[in-house]
Amino acid sequence: MRKNNFTTTKPANRKLTTEKSADKAAAPAAKAAAPVKSAAASGSTSSAPAASVSSEKSEPEKTWENAAAYKVSKETFRAELDELLELGFHTDFESAPVETLYKAIATLINKQLKRRRFEFQKARRKAGKNVPDTKKIYYISMEFLMGQSLKNNLYNLDETDLVAEVLKDRKLTPQDLYDCEPDAGLGNGGLGRLAACYMDALASQGYDAVGFSIRYEYGLFKQKIVDGWQAELPDNWLPGGYVWLNRRDEDTFKVSFYGDYEEYWTDDGLKYNLNNAEVVDAVPYDMLISGANSRVVDTLRLWKSESSNDNDFDMASFNNGDFSRAAQKENRAHLISKVLYPADNVEEGKELRLKQQYFMVSASCQNIVRNHFRDYGTLDNFSDKVAIHINDTHPALTIPELMRIFMDEYGYEWDDAWEQVSKTVSYTNHTVLAEALEKWNEDIVRVMMPRIYSILKEIDRRFREDMEEVFPGDEGKIDWMTPIAQGQVRMANLSVLGSQSVNGVSALHSEILKDDLFHDFYLATPEKFTNVTNGIAYRRWLCQSNPKLAGLIDSCIGPDYRKNADLLEKFADFADDPSVGEQVLSIKRENKVRMSNLIKKTTGIAPDPDSIFIVQAKRLHEYKRQLLNALRIISRYQKLKENPDLDMRPETYLFAAKTAPNYYLAKSIIQLICKIGEEIEKDPKIRSKMRVMFLENYSVTMAEHLMPAADISEQISLAGKEASGTGNMKMMINGAVTIGTMDGANVEMHEAVGGDNIFIFGQNAEEVQDNLRSYDSRRLYETDPVIKAAVDALGTGFAGTDFNNLKQYLIQKTYSIADPYMCLADFNDYCRVHKEIQDAYEDRKRWAHMSIINTAKASRFAADRSIREYADNIWHTKPAE
Ligand code: 26V
């Protein structure tokens, strides 16, 4: 095939204007002249009436350099608040409902962030575009599980005390406002929360970064448990959440789907026509991301889909009284950003999901390239100045979409475009589960995005040619690696071959990628593969969620660890200090009391704060083995039934988990946990010794209460399956002791705290590999009476519901493999370490020691550290500050 340039009608490096071009879909500024919709209509706060109280003359200028200038007196803040309440909310300070106070104060804080953001960008421009070693970082992710923002922003801007002062006049506290804010639940679990933690770390360390995602109208469903069964309700978060969203019509981009596509050859190369495409507008809503101890304010840009053409409203149908037909096209456009897909780690081949992905990717890539060209007048230095990170394979279409823009809109030839694109993109893998590896039906891709499909075919063709040189004649291997085969587009392969870097999220996981999942790619391009172990926004998860423990740490080692997480390790020096130990235990107890009260509010039951709080909170999935936990609980319950006077420290088992709506088996496991809890509640003697509670509707905000209250953190996945885990880090930093397998980040936690401060059990990843083939769960069931009794109890049931299906799952080969995640194989060892925990917990000095070591050694799991590793080793950039 001749070297083609895939040009459309535009010449190379042509400046972009709003002029009508043959390919209108590509004109970035097309909406520049569109009037900004009213605040009420758009949900924007940018034009809220009183958000512009002019600062007094005597106040210092609010510049980038002068962070102190943003500090205002209580009086000034109150004056701004009063004006906003009156003009923006038609009320006043004395009579405003607390929800209104929340909105108004959030609006003022958002305004301060906008000012800071503006000044940051101004300073960036002033410093010149050629600041060496700094790039613009773009983090593209289908999910950002942000949770609440007010508390975090107040903490970062150091305005909590000011707001507390102002609220005193209404006898309210900041917490009363926090309780009004809905979670921005724009994510399923670990992957989404990680992206949120990384935005915090990027801003806190002064990196110039933008996150890109979708402004889902409905976030992750609200979970309702009905008779133990999970039901899903829509999560309509925008009414309380919009205060943080700043609509920016002027940055609207157009995204094309479908259409009649034809390619033809000319003397200038391959050209194409695309007619009758379905074009939608991508309208950005910016959420501003404050950093702690940082003057940088970054942006999370969330795209909303809207119909791009007034003609999309069908006036003729309307006039005929066919109203649903009249709005059909508009609704089709709006549907794209309507709702977050609630599945993770399971197959989800829905067309709308692919549409969401391309929508997000196309708008983001157009935005990135437009910005770059505007700043530099060329794309030749693109990979020197831009880093684009794709969070799992969901944004993998970034690769062909950038190729499209470079070639079709800027006239690049294939090789030059590829050179830039493949040096700019980097990819993180978050799961090795085969069923979560995205594959799309080739025909769907071809029809939905014909131009992208054509580029994918060319990527595929060239890749096969390249691999033929690396693995000559090895058809099988090459076929396994290609982005298109057997009628499917394989997003993981596309991501690996189109990225300059591929990483896993814990040391073990990254090894598995090289040895197993991407082994052939590793052989072909070993230099691409690296590891960045996950990290958490520890200021949120420790300093804000557990202020008492953070205060104690301040008093021991000083507050600098709040800026530099490495310093937290010094807290280990206090592991055997009796007074610090006592305080650690009593703070944990206070946190448990607080959690217990919260649980009482929703369930009517207050678990005993002097019992051991054993927590497993995470998505419900077979590989995470909540079922193993439940089986051991059953076994323990049977023991207690036999001997109700058993001498033991009471235990409270707290579960929290959502699962994909169509994941029947996982829903059964939720029901099992609920029903065991119900059964135990019936017996006063037993429930004084053990309680099992399933906490409904797990969320970021719930986690912020739960993590500080955990004594034991359950991290019991089958080794080799959990890529990293991050809940494990959150509980660890709050002083919980982990019971876990050698999986994901547990391995590094074990290394950090040493064998005495963690309870490790079960097969390691290698043993799992070796044993899987010969594994016979039925034999274990038949030969081990304790296992048999627990499994049989599933058949008998709890609180009137039997769980024969789960019994069969564990021992019956009618399921392709019985017990595929080997619960029964690790059962006995799991019981063994739980016994050790009972003893360790009774030795209060030892427990305090373990707790302190866990908190201190969690320093290495700070997101700040992860982000520095990404910046240094993958993006090759430095902070802008
Ligand atoms: C897959 C799918 C499949 C199609 C439908 C929607 C959807 C959404 C998400 C996913 C992938 C989920 C992968 C994930 O969340 N992995 C988790 O990532 C965490 C952060 O790296 C890590 O700590 C967890 O171990 C890992 O399970």
Has 519 been annotated as catalytic? no
Q: Which SS3 state, helix, strand or coil, does residue 137 take?
A: strand
Single-letter code of the amino acid located at 408: D
Indicate which residue of 193, 394, 430, 514 is catalytic.
Answer: 430
Q: CATH 3.40.50.2000 occupies which residues in the chain?
A: 133-147+183-533+869-875, 608-844
- pTM to 2 decimals? 0.93
pLDDT at 9 over 60: no
pLDDT at 584 over 80: yes
- The tens digit of pLDDT for each residue in 211-265 reads 999 999 999 999 999 999 999 999 999 999 999 999 999 999 999 999 999 999 9
Single-letter code of the amino acid located at 78: R
Most informative mutation of 191, 731, 747 for ligand 1 (most atoms within 8 A of CB) = 191
How many angstroms separate the CA atoms of 391 and 375, rounded?
A: 26
pLDDT at 21 over 70: no
Query: How far does residue 636's CA lie from ligand 1's centre (Å)?
Result: 32
Q: How many CB atoms lie within 10 A of CB 75?
A: 9
Instruction: Please state, in angstroms and as integers, the Cα–Cα distance from residue 109 to each residue in 159, 288, 547, following that order.
Output: 9, 10, 22
Most informative mutation of 216, 347, 430 for ligand 1 (most atoms within 8 A of CB) = 430
Architecture of domain 133-147+183-533+869-875: 3-Layer(aba) Sandwich (3.40)
- The tens digit of pLDDT for each residue in 430-476 reads 999 988 899 999 999 999 999 999 999 999 999 999 999 999 999 99
Considering the chain, what percentage of its residues have pLDDT values greater than 90?
A: 86
pLDDT at 594 over 60: yes
Average pLDDT over residues 65-78: 87
Query: How far does residue 191's CA lie from ligand 1's centre (Å)?
Result: 5
Query: pLDDT value at position 435?
Result: 85
Burial class (CB in 10 A: 0-12, 13-18, 19+), 869: middle
The residue contributing the CA closest to ligand 1 atom 16 is: 430
The residue whose two tokens read 């350099």 is: 65
Average pLDDT over residues 260-281: 94
How many angstroms separate the CA atoms of 6 and 192, rounded?
A: 36
pLDDT at 7 over 80: no
- 303 token code pair: 């795209």
Least confident of 182-186, 345-349, 359-363, 686-690: 345-349
Query: How far does residue 344's CA lie from ligand 1's centre (Å)?
Result: 5
Q: What is the CATH number of domain 608-844?
A: 3.40.50.2000
Query: How far does residue 97's CA lie from ligand 1's centre (Å)?
Result: 39
The residue contributing the CA closest to ligand 1 atom 23 is: 725
Q: Which SS3 state, helix, strand or coil, does residue 54 take?
A: coil
Most informative mutation of 141, 188, 440 for ligand 1 (most atoms within 8 A of CB) = 188
Query: pLDDT value at position 65?
Result: 73
Q: How many CB atoms lie within 10 A of CB 744?
A: 30
The residue contributing the CA closest to ligand 1 atom 15 is: 191
Closest ligand 1 atom to the C-alpha of 192? 15
Q: CB–CB of 644/686 below 8 Å?
A: yes
- The tens digit of pLDDT for each residue in 529-569 reads 999 999 999 999 999 999 999 999 999 999 999 999 999 99
Query: How far does residue 192's CA lie from ligand 1's centre (Å)?
Result: 8
Nearest 5°: the CA angle 690, 695, 699 is 145
Has 563 been annotated as catalytic? no
pLDDT at 813 over 90: no
Radius of gyration of the chain (CA): 28
Query: How far does residue 306's CA lie from ligand 1's centre (Å)?
Result: 28
Query: pLDDT value at position 20?
Result: 31
Query: pLDDT value at position 128?
Result: 76
pLDDT at 5 over 70: no
pLDDT confidence bin for 58, thresholds 50/70/90: low
Indicate which residue of 726, 738, 741, 855 is catalytic.
Answer: 726
Query: How far does residue 331's CA lie from ligand 1's centre (Å)?
Result: 29
For residue 559, is it left (φ>0), alpha (ψ between -120 and 50) or beta?
alpha
Query: pLDDT value at position 805?
Result: 97
How many angstroms separate the CA atoms of 435 and 438, rounded?
A: 8
Query: How far does residue 664's CA lie from ligand 1's centre (Å)?
Result: 19
Query: How far does residue 723's CA lie from ligand 1's centre (Å)?
Result: 9
Has 788 been annotated as catalytic? no
Closest ligand 1 atom to the C-alpha of 345? 1
Indicate which residue of 355, 404, 624, 687 is catalytic.
Answer: 624
Has 618 been annotated as catalytic? yes
Query: How far does residue 393's CA lie from ligand 1's centre (Å)?
Result: 10
Query: pLDDT value at position 124?
Result: 87
- The tens digit of pLDDT for each residue in 777-789 reads 999 999 999 999 9
Query: How far does residue 288's CA lie from ligand 1's centre (Å)?
Result: 25
The residue contributing the CA closest to ligand 1 atom 7 is: 344
The DSSP symbol for 36 reads P
The residue contributing the CA closest to ligand 1 atom 14 is: 191
pLDDT at 623 over 50: yes
How many angstroms separate the CA atoms of 505 and 516, rounded?
A: 15
Describe the strand order of the beta sheet including 439-441 as a list of residue ranges. 439-441, 488-490, 484-485
How many angstroms separate the CA atoms of 868 and 832, rounded?
A: 39
Instruction: Please state, in angstroms and as integers, the Cα–Cα distance from residue 53 to each residue in 40, 90, 134, 482, 776, following that order.
Output: 20, 16, 35, 59, 72
Indicate which residue of 222, 404, 588, 619 is catalytic.
Answer: 619
Query: How far does residue 479's CA lie from ligand 1's centre (Å)?
Result: 26
- The tens digit of pLDDT for each residue in 691-732 reads 999 999 999 999 999 999 999 999 999 999 999 999 999 999
Q: CB–CB of 576/849 below 8 Å?
A: yes
Element (H, E) at 772: helix 765-772
- The tens digit of pLDDT for each residue in 277-317 reads 999 999 999 999 999 989 999 999 999 999 998 778 889 99
Considering the chain, what percentage of its residues have pLDDT values greater than 70?
A: 93
How many angstroms separate the CA atoms of 677 and 601, rounded?
A: 17
Query: How far does residue 427's CA lie from ligand 1's centre (Å)?
Result: 14
Q: CB–CB of 415/403 below 8 Å?
A: no
Query: pLDDT value at position 817?
Result: 87
Average pLDDT over residues 407-414: 96
How many angstroms separate the CA atoms of 710 and 538, rounded?
A: 16
Most informative mutation of 344, 517, 721 for ligand 1 (most atoms within 8 A of CB) = 344
Indicate which residue of 31, 389, 490, 730 is catalytic.
Answer: 730
Indicate which residue of 618, 687, 689, 860 is catalytic.
Answer: 618
Query: pLDDT value at position 815?
Result: 62
Site residues for ligand 1, CB cut-off 6 Å: 188-191, 194, 341, 343-345, 348, 392, 430-431, 436, 505, 534, 722-726, 744
Q: How many CB atoms lie within 10 A of CB 40?
A: 9
How many angstroms separate the CA atoms of 461 and 455, rounded?
A: 10
The residue contributing the CA closest to ligand 1 atom 9 is: 344
- 658 token code pair: 């959502």
Most informative mutation of 143, 389, 431 for ligand 1 (most atoms within 8 A of CB) = 431
How many angstroms separate the CA atoms of 201 and 134, rounded?
A: 16
Least confident of 157-161, 542-546, 740-744, 815-819: 815-819
Closest ligand 1 atom to the C-alpha of 190? 19
Query: How far does residue 391's CA lie from ligand 1's centre (Å)?
Result: 10
- The tens digit of pLDDT for each residue in 25-55 reads 333 333 233 332 333 333 333 333 333 344 4
Across the chain, mean pLDDT equals 92
